[in-house]
Structure 1
Amino acid sequence: MSKITRYCQALDLVDEANLIKEYETIHQQIWPEVAQNIRHSGIVDMQIWRLGTRLFMIMDVDETFSFERSAQLNNNPTVIKWEEQMWRFQKPTPWTPDGSKWVLMEQIFDLSKQP
């Protein structure tokens, strides 16, 4: 059985109700090429949760995943077009480095490590 690692990331949405609704609708069935690219990069499960304008992404990845490899795979023209369209809805968090989008969150608690 392969080892699964979890990463959590955050991103904000533009604070416009109609854009948030459209973003959620689009994510009910993303483009097949984008889903294939996600899976091919070693992501075995991905979920996005929302509170207000804050998005929280949970990614479970296998041992083939790396952020560098994922970035290389994202050079696919279809994925580039998808990401460009998503920027219409998204905006970086106040803590996101320039030129970045989703930003890794720091884990501060793990129940399994508690007595």
Structure 2
Amino acid sequence: MKKFCLTLDLKNDDGLIEAYEKYHRQDSIWPEIPEGIKACGILSMDIYRVSTRLVMIMETDDEFELKSGFEKMAGLPRQQEWAALMNTMQEKPAFAEPGEHWVLMKQVFKL
């Protein structure tokens, strides 16, 4: 099993932050989204927020590769529509590289 931790920011707008959280609630998320996530080899995904900073923790199968996994997910039903909607609420961190959206974090401690 592999584990990834990524970060991204939300736009500093209370209404957008509220909408982002609402879309991610179990009773609001489009059913194709978690189905697509799982179909790509992602076993679990948690997103945490403090202020405008998001942190995503993913556990995947051993064969999962981040770039190709996200590319595969983008081709699944409703994923592009979901990504476009989420992009209206998100912004890349200032330290993101060109073409990067969610930024992979480096693990610095493990117990």
| Residue 73 of structure 1, CA deviation | 3.1
What is the CA distance between 1:5 and its match in structure 2?
1.1
**Aligned-partner Cα distance in 2 for 1:89–1:36:** 22
TM-score relative to the length of structure 1 = 0.88
Kindly tell me the number of residue pairs found equivalent between the two proteins: 108
Give 1 or 2 for the bigger CA radius of gyration: 1
Q: How far apart, CA to CA, are the structure 1 residues paired with 2:25 and 2:89?
A: 15
Q: CA deviation at 1:40?
A: 0.7
The aligned counterpart of 1:57 is 56
- Any conservation in 2 of the 1:41–1:64 contact (CA below 8 Å)? no
Question: C-alpha root-mean-square deviation of aligned residues, in Å?
Answer: 1.2
Q: In structure 2, do the counterparts of structure 1 residues 100 and 77 end up closer, same or farther at CA, with 3 Å as the change threshold? A: farther
Moved over 4 A (4+): none
> Which 5+ residue runs of structure 2 have no aligned equivalent?
none
SS in structure 1 of the partner of residue 70 of structure 2: helix
Identify which of 4, 10, 20 aligns with 2:7.
10
Aligned counterpart, 2:70: 70
SS at match of 1:38: helix
What are the within-5 Å matches in structure 2 for residues 78-97 of structure 1?
78-97=78-97
**Range moving further from structure 2, 73-82 or 56-65:** 73-82
Amino acid at match of 1:43: I
Q: Which runs of 5 or more structure 1 residues have no equivalent in the other structure? A: none
In the superposition, the TM-score normalised over structure 2's length comes to 0.91
Aligned counterpart, 1:42: 41
